[in-house]
Each structure stands twice: as C-alpha cells, then as structure tokens.
Amino acid sequence: MSVGKSRGFLYRLTRLLGDYQAASSGNPEKIARRVGRRAAGKAIGESVQEAVQHGSGK
C-alpha cells in the first residue's frame, strides 16, 4: 500500500470516528453542527475543484 492510499484511508477513518463521536454524544446540537460542517466542507471542496479544473479567471 502506498503512502497516499494509507493517508487517504486514515483521513476517511478520522472523519468516520468524528461522526461516531458526535453521534454517540447524544447531543443534537453537536450532531447538527457536525452535519453542517461536513456539508459546507463538501460544497467548498467541490467548488474549489471545479474552479481548478476549469481554470478560474479564464
């Protein structure tokens, strides 16, 4: 397994553990905050990726 694949696996595992920790707290505010931040992060990541692929400013 390459370093990149190992790192990707660890990042995914970390995200899942964070989700589990928020859910296991039983606090609806923590869960909602986690879901909101994950959604915002995904949206920002997709928009940045699209800008890079299509060349922003061209």
Q: How far is the CA of 45 from the CAs of 29, 31, 35, 58, in angstroms?
A: 24, 21, 15, 20
Per-residue pLDDT tens for 43-57? 999 999 999 998 755
Per-residue pLDDT tens for 8-53? 999 999 999 999 999 999 999 999 999 999 999 999 999 999 999 9
On the question of pLDDT at 58 being above 80, the answer is: no
Please state, in angstroms and rounded to a whole number, the distance separating the CA atoms of residues 25 and 34. Answer: 12
The letter for the amino acid at 5 is K
Please state, in angstroms and rounded to a whole number, the distance separating the CA atoms of residues 46 and 6. Answer: 23
Predicted confidence at residue 1, as pLDDT, reads: 80
